[in-house]
Structures are given as C-alpha cells and as structure tokens.
Amino acid sequence: MSDKPHPLISFAKSRGFIYPSSEIYGGLSAIYDYGHYGILLKKNIEAAWWKAMVQERDDVFGLDSAIFMHPKTWIASGHVDGFDDPQVDCRQCKSRFRADHLLENYGYTDDQTDKAPLDYLNAQLDALRHDKKLTCPNCGSRDLTSAKRFSLMVKSNIGSPTDDLKEENVVYLRPETCGGIYLEYKNVVDSLHPSLPFGIAQVGKAFRNEIIARQFIFRTREFEQMEMQYFLKSEQMKEKYEQWKKDRFAWYLEYGISKTKLRWYKHAKLVFYASAAYDIEYNFSVLGNFKEVEGIHARGDHDLTQHSKFSGADLRYFDQATGQKFLPHIMETSVGLNRLMLMFLDNAFTTEKLEDGSERTVLKLDKRLAPIKAAVFPLLRNKPELVDKAKQIAAMLRKEMMIEYDDHGNIGKRYRRQDEIGTPYCITVDFDGLKDETVTVRSRDSMKQERVAISRLLEYMAGGERRGTPKKN
Ligand code: GAP
C-alpha cells in the first residue's frame, strides 16, 4: 500500500461500511468493525457463497462448529509448533514487519520468500544490510533485528478464574475454520451417511496474531473464513480438484469481477502432504497489486491421519460397495469473507464524470450483493399525500428486501447518497403517480428513469436482476 491512504478507506468509514475497532481508545491494530452497510454487504456475500457451495449442490453439507476446540486439535494439525511468521523489529520506532514482506520492498517475489526457511531470509536481509540498503519502512532507521519466528496462534484460557495460569487450561482461538470440520467429519458421516465424494462447508471467525503493515481489512487479526473440505477417494482427486477450480473461478465472474482482474497463482513450494495448491488472486487497486483471495488445496489424507493418531478415534470411511475401510483424502476451498468484501468494494468503487461536469461516486455492486436493494422517496416532503404513498410503498417493499425511505434534501442529492452505497433502484412518488398508481424508477448504473406501475414494482426490479428476485438480506 502506498503512503497515501486509498480513498476507498475513508469512504468505507464515512459511508458506514467499515470502522477501525476501538477508535475512541486510540484503536486496535488490524481489527475492524462493520457498520450498517458493511454488515449487509458481508451477509450478502456470505449468502452468495453459501448458495453456490451448499444450496445449489447435493454433495455439500453445512456446519457451524465452535471457535474453541480441544487444545490437542492444534498440536495434531501442527499449528502449535509450526504456525508462525518471520518477524523483524525496528529497534528505533518499534515497528514490526514480516521478513518476507520486507524483502518484497527490495524486489523479492512471493515465490522466493513465501515459507522460506529463516536462514535464507536472514541471509538476504544480511546482504541488504551489508550494502547499507536495509532500512525501516516506517522511520528509515537501519537498526533492524534479524528475523525470528513469531507464532500466529492466539491463546485464551477456559476454566475457573483460579485455574487461569495452568497450562492445561490454555485453549486457542481457532486460526482457521477447517479444524472444526475435521473434528466433526465422523459425526457428519454417522448422522447423514453421505457417500464419497462429499463436502462439509462452514463460515466462521478465525484469529491470527498477524504481523501487519497497513493492509486495511485484507489481513486482520480477527476475520471470517468460508471453507469447504471435500472428502474423496484418492483416485477422485485429480478430476474433482480441476472441477472445483473451475467452479470457484466462475463464481467470481458471476458476481461481476472482470476476468482481467483475476489470475491463478500456482504454489511452487508445497507442504509435504499436499499434491496441489492454487490461489485465486485479485488485482486490488487499494493495495496496488494482485493478492490472494482464495486458496484451493489438495491435502491428501494428512488431516484425518493426524486427528486419528492424536485422538485415537477411528476416522476411516466404510465403503459399503467394496466393504473396505480407508481414510478419505481431502481437498479444500478456503476464502476470507472480509477479504472478499474488500475485493467487491474495490471492484465496485467508481468515480464518474457526468455530462453536466459534476462527479458522482457510485458503488457498482452486483445487485444481489448491494446492501440496500431500493430507496423510496416522496418527491416533496411537505406534501402529506406524497409522503403517505411513499411510506405505503416502502412498507410493502420492506417485507421483501432491504430498502430505505428518504425525504431529505433534493432528489439529486438523494440519488447521490444511494449511488454511493450501491443501491440499484430509486423509486420516486410524484403527483402524476398519485393519479395512475405509478412511480418513477431510476437505475443506478444507467441513471435512466422509467415509469412503472406500483403493482409491477417487484417484478420490474426482479427483471433487472441477472438472476431471481432480490431477496431480503
Ligand atoms: N485452511 C486453509 C487456510 O486457512 P490460508 O491461506 O491460511 O488457508 C485461506 O487462508 C484464506 O483465508 C485466504 O485466502 C484469505 O482469503 C483468508 N485469510 C487468511 N488469513 C487472513 C487474515 N489474517 N485476514 C483476512 N483474511 C485472511
């Protein structure tokens, strides 16, 4: 990110999408709160994901597992010992950086630094230090420490207050949601009796003690993940992996992300148990680069093997057709909900010059994701007959979708306010309409106005949708 904050960041705050957390106490680094339009947008993105991943399929089941899990979960998964980032501190200004991100400032690429051993990172830093090139990005000091490992696991504790400090009461806030899926895999098999291949999907909070330098909601310490673990026979992996790659990429296009802003990133270095790992990357204007939004990983039988070993539970799948018992392999799709929200805002945030020379800011969100589906205005706020009719229409629409009623300022200003939050339709009640039960409907993107019968309003707005009727958020 450049030194000057991108206008989207101040826009997101001033228009009620995203607020820095705990601001009145000076803020809490890399934690954010979501305002009225933010939570509506976030829920719509989640619903769009859930629809594609669960509702429209007959082989994926839903789950909502707890944030706290048995501490052994994270020992079995390797997180307690190995989920860490290489950290470099500035002794002068006390800023903290990820060594791999620091090296990127000097032309190193992800391929060279991602998951690179500490020795390698320190050798590169030493070379830069030797050439007197290595400086703190924050204060310019040359007094930077070597890289050391910093655990991303966030600890908490449960039990009575007197037990607080005992090691056995330490629990972790989950660093990824898939852990809960692995632990509930057996219950899902025993209760729903699915045939392979099948998936389990869930949406929920995850926590990581990230070392972060100003990335807005791209990388935060508390965030939501939407993950799906697909259980299959090893011989099914290749075909299903390719299919999921296609399906997930198509989802971005369906919701209005242009192909030119998306690309695949193939991980060159794989963990020992994985057979493939690709990321979908989006070209964020707010971050000035292509960055990962979603990972699609072929994980083999590593997760179930580890959890069988550490829990002692038999997690083998019984195949009725062959009479065989075996541990299924897993491929996952994993995406951050907050990161997707940043992507959709980044993609939709537009400033346009109008014919009259003025400018408008408009959020060109897919209508299914727009926080508010329609706004209803009386032409004049001091004419009770217009106000009554507009309020009646607002009450009727409110039962079907999120709408707003607005009678402040002139119509032009009301349009601008709705454009800014991405509302697809503005509906104005005027005197002509009182006579023939019609309203004017103005579309966000074309700014064209049409006269529509009140009785046809829902149908009209549904027709404008690319698919289906706008649903209540
Ligand atoms: N279970 C696999 C897993 O968690 P990951 O690449 O660490 O893989 C998956 O995370 C996705 O979760 C990322 O592509 C990103 O969208 C999101 N994500 C990860 N860390 C995040 C953070 N600190 N803040 C926001 N989103 C994050």
pLDDT in tens, the chain (473 residues): 556 789 999 999 999 999 999 999 999 999 999 999 999 999 999 999 999 999 999 999 999 999 999 999 999 999 999 999 999 999 999 989 999 989 999 999 877 887 788 999 999 999 999 999 999 999 999 999 999 999 999 999 887 656 555 666 789 999 999 999 999 999 999 999 999 999 999 999 999 999 876 799 999 999 999 999 999 999 999 999 999 999 999 999 999 999 999 999 999 888 889 999 999 999 999 999 999 999 999 999 999 999 999 999 999 999 999 999 999 999 999 999 999 999 999 999 999 999 999 999 999 999 999 999 999 999 999 999 999 999 999 999 999 999 999 999 999 999 999 999 999 999 999 999 999 999 999 999 999 999 999 999 999 999 854 433 344 44
| Residues with Cβ within 8 Å of residue 349, at least 6 apart in sequence | 7, 8, 11, 361, 363
Radius of gyration of the chain, Cα coordinates, nearest whole angstrom: 26
Sign of CA pseudo-dihedral 341, 342, 345, 346: negative
Q: d(Cα 204, Cα 220) in Å, to the nearest integer?
A: 14
Task: Give the residue, out of 31, 174, 223, with the most ligand 1 atoms within 8 A of its beta carbon, to mutate for a pocket test.
Answer: 223
User: With a 6 A CB cut-off, is 334 part of the ligand 1 pocket?
Assistant: yes
Peptide bond into 197 cis (omega under 30): yes
| Residues with Cβ within 8 Å of residue 274, at least 6 apart in sequence | 297, 298, 299, 300, 302
Q: What is the pTM of this model?
A: 0.93
DSSP-assigned letter for residue 68: B
User: With a 6 A CB cut-off, is 292 part of the ligand 1 pocket?
Assistant: yes
User: With a 6 A CB cut-off, is 470 part of the ligand 1 pocket?
Assistant: no
Task: Give the residue, out of 209, 225, 299, with the most ligand 1 atoms within 8 A of its beta carbon, to mutate for a pocket test.
Answer: 225
Q: d(Cα 240, Cα 246) in Å, to the nearest integer?
A: 10
Task: Tell me the CA–centroid distance for residue 136 and ligand 1, in Å.
Answer: 26
User: With a 6 A CB cut-off, is 77 part of the ligand 1 pocket?
Assistant: no
Residue 443, token pair as written in the block: 């579309």
User: With a 6 A CB cut-off, is 74 part of the ligand 1 pocket?
Assistant: no
CB half-sphere exposure, 169, CA atoms < 13 A = 11
Q: d(Cα 376, Cα 191) in Å, to the nearest integer?
A: 48
Token pair 């934690």 in the structure block, residue: 31
| 198 within 8 A of 57, measured Cβ to Cβ | no
User: With a 6 A CB cut-off, is 179 part of the ligand 1 pocket?
Assistant: no
